[in-house]
A and B are shown apart, each in its own frame.
Chain A
Amino acid sequence: QQQVKQSPQSLIVQKGGIPIINCAYENTAFDYFPWYQQFPGKGPALLIAIRPDVSEKKEGRFTISFNKSAKQFSLHIMDSQPGDSATYFCAASKDGNEKLTFGTGTRLTIIP
């Protein structure tokens, strides 16, 4: 049972474009939604996270948009760079303190 559905599976964007990765969840008890970034040969690392009491969170060029009624959240990367090429995972958990349920991942490629 896939509790967090992520799309697209892969994405190619030109440098400077704005890639958008979407996630949808089913469990309304989820209240913590992080995004992890993984470079080849490395473990995932936390990129940015949001709680459902806000609809948007920005950290540098990365923005999470959150739609509680639709049970969806998305990651936007402004002014994308080739160095942003990585696999991105959305995730969710209850209480912010429990184990994470990850999406299936999006392989992002930024071409010069």
Chain B
Amino acid sequence: DADVTQTPRNRITKTGKRIMLECSQTKGHDRMYWYRQDPGLGLRLIYYSFDVKDINKGEISDGYSVSRQAQAKFSLSLESAIPNQTALYFCATSDPGGSGRNYNEQFFGPGTRLTVL
């Protein structure tokens, strides 16, 4: 099931480099999210977008920016990567109208493993 895709799947970069992680979805959902996952810290919300013109900061947005290019595309950028941004990054979508089993079910992509040296 490739409804939510993320590219790249793995990326190694150096401190100070700009990097972009991309997310695309074919589910037709308006809402999209970016999370990072760290061991022992769970999933933390970076940014979210409820439609193409709506961008909101999550709990850990410092050092990140996003772009919602279309309903289907939501990109996460690290303007100047630092080692503590090494993490697993997930994109997710949801449809409050309830196309999932539960009306706010979030559908996650496969993740991008980012390493900043």
A interface residues, Cβ below 8 angstroms from B: 6, 9, 32, 34, 36, 41-46, 49, 89, 93, 96-105
| B49 CB to nearest A CB, Å | 11
Interface hit among B61-69, B74-82, B95-103 = B95-103
Q: Of B42, B58, B90, which contacts A103 at CB under 8 A?
A: B42
What's the count of A-B pairs with C-beta under 8 Å?
61
| Chain A residues positioned under 8 Å from B104 (CB to CB) | 32, 34, 93, 96-98, 100
Contact A104 B111 (CB under 8 A): no
Q: How far, in angstroms, from A42 to B6 measured CA to CA in the complex?
A: 12
B41 within 8 A of A: yes
Contact A100 B106 (CB under 8 A): yes
Contact A104 B42 (CB under 8 A): yes
B interface residues, Cβ below 8 angstroms from A: 4, 33, 35, 40-45, 48, 58, 90, 92, 96, 100-111
A6-B42, A99-B33, A104-B41 known; A42-B110 Cβ under 8 A: yes
| Chain A residues positioned under 8 Å from B33 (CB to CB) | 99
Q: How far, in angstroms, from A36 to B94 measured CA to CA in the complex?
A: 14
| A37 CB to nearest B CB, Å | 11
Nearest B residue to A34 by beta-carbon distance?
A: B102
Q: How far, in angstroms, from A99 to B109 measured CA to CA in the complex?
A: 17
Q: How far, in angstroms, from A9 to B104 measured CA to CA in the complex?
A: 26
Contact B48 A99 (CB under 8 A): yes
| Chain A residues positioned under 8 Å from B108 (CB to CB) | 43-45
Q: Of A46, A99, A102, which contacts B105 at CB under 8 A?
A: A46
Nearest A residue to B113 by beta-carbon distance?
A: A41
A44-B43, A99-B58 known; A49-B48 Cβ under 8 A: no
A selection of 22 A-B contacts at a CB cut-off of 8 Å is A32-B102, A34-B104, A41-B110, A42-B111, A43-B4, A43-B110, A44-B43, A44-B106, A45-B107, A46-B106, A49-B102, A49-B105, A93-B104, A97-B104, A98-B104, A99-B58, A100-B104, A102-B35, A102-B44, A103-B42, A104-B40, A104-B41
